[in-house]
Amino acid sequence: MSSVLDPKKPTTPAPSRGELSSLGDSIAQVGACALFLLAILAAVPKSLRYIKETIRQIWFTGAMSLVIIMTCGLFVGMVLGLQLYYVLSIFGGTAALGTVVSLSLYRELGPVVTALLFAGRAGTSITAEIGLMRATDQIAAMEMMAVDPMAYVAAPRFIAGVIAMPLLACVFNMLGIFGAHLVGVSWLGLDNGTFWSNMTSSVDVWKDVVNGVWKSCAFGAVVALIAVFQGYTTPPTSEGVAYATTRTVVFSSIVVLALDFVMTAFLM
Amino acid sequence: MNQRRSYQIGTGLFILLGFAALAYLATQTTSVANFQQGPSYTVKAGFTNIGQLKLRAPVKIAGVRIGSVKAIDLDQTKLQANVEISIDNRYNELPDDSAAAIFTSGLLGDQYVAIQPGGSPTMLKDGDEFVLTQSSIQLEDLIGKFLVSGGPSKPADSQSGDAKPDDKNGATPPPAAPAKPDTDTKH
């Protein structure tokens, strides 16, 4: 593992030397990130010793994100209900509102929007926290106390991301369905039985619900990996931490959306 | 220590909530919800053609779901489809001369069994069979009949000469077809 993983040698961004070398830099970043993933996976068994730290991270990244996830889920569901009701009414198919809302939430919107919110809410704070730990030499101090920072800092946050994301996505989906039900049934006067029975007859557990859960597990892993990696490799300056936080959001959004396309193509 | 306990409880609640949401999504909003039904009784119906009717398709009266299709089988002697329908025990007041028909929800939607209630004082019970059934309407048949309806219904008089170029066109607009017999009767 390169200097990226060596806590004693904080990496500084190489001064940019034109476009070609910046392309090389980005490739090197991707490679370092992949190596970092391997290092985290290798540290996972060791991090079981710090199970309480993992629980604290699940609480911080998952439970503390609940409010924003629930609010956004409700509004996304309400908007979906309103928009799709309008579009479906053109074709006289408003009975399919429940089906369309639930399928689009389970298959796409739930995992993706939750991952984007997760990157904004939890990813940034992970990056900032680890970046400041690095800047204030806490990670070096851990090494000196024979505590492996990969096992104590990186791995618990990664595990917490993988566990918390699918749970958050499920809560998001549930609130989204409630929001669509609120708009479609309570407000626009769609029949309650039609809404649910059309949904239950065309949504499949394995093809729709469980595929969405797999997706959100993968997104949780990606967002947590990028957040931890950016924090771990940040230049130990206040400016460096600021850039690392921005990069976490930008990179994880791009990777989540690209990975979503790939996973959709494979899980179809 | 107290703070540690509080976040552990919070984490536990969060995980419980997440799994409760997953369980809710998996059981209440998917086809699993259709499996769990209360006590029901089974009646049979024979159709000459069931079209795209599937297992677990809804059975409705007046648009209200009262049961589902339990089994579909072929009757070897009559060469017709035997459909077993399970109806919720709550709905046990169906006259035994009710008719079963296969309809399509919407133009391109799924097919379902619609029951049109009769007026008999005796009610359907477990194991009974519908006397009156109406097969699913095949859209292809309907279009076929519609397109050729101009041909056979036409008397072989002067009109037949007019009909020939129409047939060759192939793109006869359907609304024109019903209009033709009208003009024939006027002659």
- pLDDT tens for B89-121 read 888 888 888 889 988 876 666 788 899 888 888
> Hey, is the C-beta of A90 within 8 angstroms of any chain B C-beta?
no
For the ranges A21-25, A69-73, B75-79, the maximum mean pLDDT occurs at: A69-73
User: pLDDT band at A6, cuts 50/70/90?
Assistant: low
In a domain, A13, yes or no: no
Over range A88-102, report the average pLDDT: 89
Residue B148 to chain A, least CA–CA distance (Å): 29
- Residue B151's pLDDT is what? 53
Q: Which of A78-87, A160-169, A209-218, B23-32 has the lowest mean pLDDT?
A: B23-32
CB proximity under 8 Å: A 155-174 to B: 163-164, 166-168, 170-171, 173-174
ipTM of the complex: 0.84
> Hey, is the C-beta of B71 within 8 angstroms of any chain A C-beta?
no
Residue A58 CB partners (closer than 8 Å, separation 6+): A160, A163, A164, B11, B14, B15
Dihedral angle at the C-alpha atoms of A137, A139, A144, A146, nearest 10 degrees? Answer: 170
Instruction: Assess contact for A84 and A97: CB atoms under 8 A.
Output: yes
Q: How far apart are CA A53 and CA A47, in angstroms?
A: 9
Tokens linked to A33: 């990130």
What pLDDT digit, counting tens, does each position of A12-67 carry? Answer: 554 444 455 688 888 998 999 999 999 999 999 999 999 999 999 999 999 999 99
In a domain, A96, yes or no: yes
Q: How far is CA B123 from CA B95, B130, B154, B165, in A?
A: 4, 11, 47, 57
- CB count in 10 Å sphere of residue A27: 10
User: pLDDT band at B141, cuts 50/70/90?
Assistant: confident
Closest chain B residue to the Cα of A57, Cα to Cα: B11
User: pLDDT band at A122, cuts 50/70/90?
Assistant: very high
Over range B65-83, report the average pLDDT: 87
Contact A166 B22 (CB under 8 A): yes
Residue B171 has pLDDT above 70, yes or no: no
H/E segment holding residue B74 = strand B64-75
Domain residues for A156?
Answer: 18-267
In a domain, A98, yes or no: yes
B24 interaction partners in chain A (CB closer than 8 Å): 174
- Residue A127's pLDDT is what? 96
> Hey, is the C-beta of B21 within 8 angstroms of any chain A C-beta?
yes
User: pLDDT band at A100, cuts 50/70/90?
Assistant: very high
A3 or A163, which is more confident: A163
Half-sphere exposure of A233 (CA within 13 A, CB side): 21
A141 or B182, which is more confident: A141
A156 or B179, which is more confident: A156
Instruction: Assess contact for A231 and A130: CB atoms under 8 A.
Output: yes
Domains in chain A, number: 1
Q: What mean pLDDT, rounded, does chain B reach?
A: 76
A73 or B34, which is more confident: A73
Q: Which of A54-58, A246-250, B84-88, B104-108 has the lowest mean pLDDT?
A: B104-108
User: pLDDT band at B184, cuts 50/70/90?
Assistant: very low
Q: How far apart are CA A199 and CA A182, in angstroms?
A: 15
Instruction: Assess contact for A203 and A128: CB atoms under 8 A.
Output: no
> Hey, is the C-beta of A68 within 8 angstroms of any chain B C-beta?
no
Q: Which of A61-70, A71-80, B4-13 has the lowest mean pLDDT?
A: B4-13
User: pLDDT band at B178, cuts 50/70/90?
Assistant: very low
Domains of chain B, residue spans: 1-36, 38-137, 140-186
In a domain, A8, yes or no: no
Contact B18 A167 (CB under 8 A): yes
At A66, is the secondary structure helix, strand, or coil? helix
Over range A231-240, report the average pLDDT: 91
What are the beta bridge partners of residue B103?
B112
Q: Say which residue the tokens 């489809």 belong to.
A: B81
Q: Say which residue the tokens 């908007």 belong to.
A: A79
Over range A133-150, report the average pLDDT: 92
Sheet holding B111-116, edge to edge: B40-47, B80-88, B64-75, B58-61, B111-116, B99-104, B132-134
User: pLDDT band at A254, cuts 50/70/90?
Assistant: very high
- Residue B17's pLDDT is what? 94
- Residue B158's pLDDT is what? 45
Residue B163 has pLDDT above 80, yes or no: no
For the ranges A107-116, A233-242, B80-89, the maximum mean pLDDT occurs at: A107-116
Can you count the helices (H) and strands (E) in chain A? 12, 0
In a domain, A11, yes or no: no
Q: Which of A59, A93, A205 has its CB closest to that of B30? A: A205
Torsion sign (Cα): B132, B138, B141, B142: positive
Residue A62 to chain B, least CA–CA distance (Å): 7
Q: Which of A58-62, A158-162, A226-230, B35-39 has the lowest mean pLDDT?
A: B35-39
- Residue B108's pLDDT is what? 64
CB proximity under 8 Å: B 85-124 to A: 105-106, 109-110
In a domain, A5, yes or no: no
For an interface test with A, the pick among B7, B8, B14 (most A C-beta atoms closer than 10 Å) comes out as B14
- Residue B103's pLDDT is what? 86
- Residue B174's pLDDT is what? 47
